[in-house]
Amino acid sequence: MKVIFPFLILALIGLVLRLASSSQSMRPTEVESGPNLTLLISGEELGYLEPCGCAEGQLGGFPRRDSVIQQLGAKGNTLIPVANGDLIKDATRQSELKAEIGFAALKEMGYVAYNVGERDLLLGIDQLKYLQEASGIPFLSANLFHGENRVFQPFVLHTANLHGSQIQMAIIGVLSQSFEIQVENAGADLRLGNPTAVLTDLVEKLDQAADLIVLLAHADLAESEGLASAFPQIDVVVSGHEREELHEDPVFIKNTVLLNTGTKGKAIGQLDIRWSDDRTGPDYEFQALSLSERLPDSPRMIELLMLYQQMLTAENLSADMEREPPTTGGTYVGSASCKGCHAEVYAIWKESKHAHAYQTLISHGHAADPECLTCHTVGFGFQTGFVNIETTPNLPDMGCENCHGVGGNHVKNPQKGYGQVTQADCLTCHTTQNSPKFDYEVYLPKIQHWKGIGGGYETAKGF
């Protein structure tokens, strides 16, 4: 496990936040509500801290989420943001850096609890404990044990002030019993307790101590529903693990509200909680706030995400990763190597958007981000492919060899038969997420650098 210069990062974050807090106020948006006690639920970002920007209309991202939170707060609401785990997707170095920034961001947004998910466990317990300490957010897991002891605290008590009265909240976290294997893989002596058994003890005690019990269940909806019906003392159950969208309509299991978080941070759930004057209730009102591009980006989140990009650059992450051999053999040579013999083709390509794909990353501040380089440069992830602009200045942009295959052999010994292209080649990058409007019939003519069907191509000059 590598923990990188944590103090430097925290110092930088402090600086960034001071800078950001002096910025301009925001434009008005669609968010509406009066003063309330508001539970804000999110989870399962799976590494999506912001939309990539490849297509219009993408939802989500911390900058928009923070704007919503700030707007709700400005209306006098008492906000309780809680997270239900799986902030990251895997255990790569990039995910470690992302976690570092992600938890700092949650802290800035005022999160009061983080329920550990099975993907988080991939980072390892030491790293999670470090992240808990660095962010100051309590990490919860009532049923994750190391020998006889709990790894993280089972719940957190949170006092919320609402119109002068104090509401005592207990927020508990559990992990689905289906993750035994993931727990074992996370470390020797780690074991997963049965959620029901663990809650039987806890809920009884907390029922006395708290006005409101919230259970964060990192479990699918069926298992969460089971917990909701087994423990009527729990007021709110938040479910979250691999469910597609955030459900607009909460389910009621007797008096317990059951909600889910959605995935990839595309929306945030807002549960307004009210008591009448005689403290009966509570009553609930729920809405899924979709984080659309109409929402402004919060400057302090933008600063944090820029810091993340600086960390990727500082670690030279794109150079420091495993690479597979190219599928067709040979070495990548770059689009300029084709120019000498295919001048006309080259000129057409040079005018296409493909030839500006790396510039796009530069203008969006992602020029060193391995998650973007895959589709915006030549041969990234393969041996002899793009590394970074200094090491491989010949391989930026979406070039000839991404479609026609590695060109080294062809350049040395040009032959017919090289580089057949099919729709499947396009679809490796034009995925539903990155290119939802992709239609081969429409897109193919836009990149045409050959004479139409049966027309034959004016072959390479000089042959």
Which stretches does DSSP call E strand in 199-333? 212-218, 236-239, 251-253, 256-260, 267-274, 283-290
Q: Which of 179, 231, 346, 386 binds ligand HEC (CB under 6 A)?
A: 346
Phi/psi at 239 (5° precision): -100, 150
Residue 312 touches ligand HEC, criterion: CB under 6 A: no
State in angstroms the smallest separation of the CB of 436 from ligand HEC: 7
- Per the CB < 8 A criterion, the answer to whether 307 and 13 are in contact is yes
Kindly indicate which of the ranges 67-75, 125-133, 161-169, 239-247 contains the residues binding Zn ion, using the contact rule CB under 5 A.
239-247
CA distance 251 to 50: 29
Q: Which of 357, 367, 368, 387 binds ligand HEC (CB under 6 A)?
A: 357
Q: Which of 24, 149, 276, 420 binds ligand HEC (CB under 6 A)?
A: 420
Residue 223 touches Zn ion, criterion: CB under 5 A: no
Among ligand HEC, Zn ion, none, what does residue 171 contact (CB within 5–8 Å per kind)?
none
Q: Which of 93, 146, 243, 356 binds ligand HEC (CB under 6 A)?
A: 356
Among Zn ion, ligand HEC, none, what does residue 407 contact (CB within 5–8 Å per kind)?
ligand HEC
Residue 264 touches Zn ion, criterion: CB under 5 A: no
Q: Which is nearer to ligand HEC, 329 or 340 (CB)?
A: 340
Q: Which is nearer to ligand HEC, 20 or 411 (CB)?
A: 411
Residue 374 touches ligand HEC, criterion: CB under 6 A: yes
Paired tokens of 201: 């003890």
Q: What DSSP character marks residue 287?
A: E
Residue 86 touches Zn ion, criterion: CB under 5 A: yes
State in angstroms the smallest separation of the CB of 100 from Zn ion: 20
Q: Report which residue's Cβ sits closest to ligand HEC.
A: 407
The contacts of residue 64 (CB under 8 Å, 6+ apart) are 291, 292, 293, 295, 296, 297, 298
Interacting residues with ligand HEC between 389 and 418 (CB under 6 A): 398-404, 407, 410-411, 414, 416-418
Residue 117 touches Zn ion, criterion: CB under 5 A: yes
Interacting residues with ligand HEC between 52 and 81 (CB under 6 A): 52-55
Residue 262 touches Zn ion, criterion: CB under 5 A: no
Long-range CB contact pairs, 127-135, < 8 A, 24+: 127/1, 127/3, 127/96, 127/99, 128/152, 130/3, 130/6, 131/99, 131/100, 131/103, 132/103, 134/6, 134/10, 134/100, 134/103, 134/104, 135/103, 135/104, 135/106, 135/107
State in angstroms the smallest separation of the CB of 118 from Zn ion: 5
The contacts of residue 229 (CB under 8 Å, 6+ apart) are 253, 254, 256
Residue 241 touches Zn ion, criterion: CB under 5 A: yes
Residue 301 touches ligand HEC, criterion: CB under 6 A: no
Per the DSSP assignment, residues forming a β-bridge with 253 are 256
Cα torsion 177, 183, 189, 191 to 10°: value is -10
Long-range CB contact pairs, 422-429, < 8 A, 24+: 428/375, 429/374, 429/375, 429/398, 429/402
Q: How far apart are the first and last CA of the chain?
A: 56
Taking the CB of residue 203, how many other CB atoms lie within 10 A of it?
Answer: 22
Residue 430 touches ligand HEC, criterion: CB under 6 A: yes
Per the DSSP assignment, residues forming a β-bridge with 170 are 157, 213
Where do contacts with ligand HEC occur on this chain (CB under 6 A)?
52-55, 333, 335, 337-338, 340-342, 345-346, 349, 353-354, 356-357, 360-361, 364, 366, 369, 371-372, 374-376, 398-404, 407, 410-411, 414, 416-421, 425-426, 428-431, 434-435, 437-438, 443-444, 446-447, 449-450, 457, 459-460, 463
What residues line the site for Zn ion (CB under 5 A)?
86, 117-118, 241
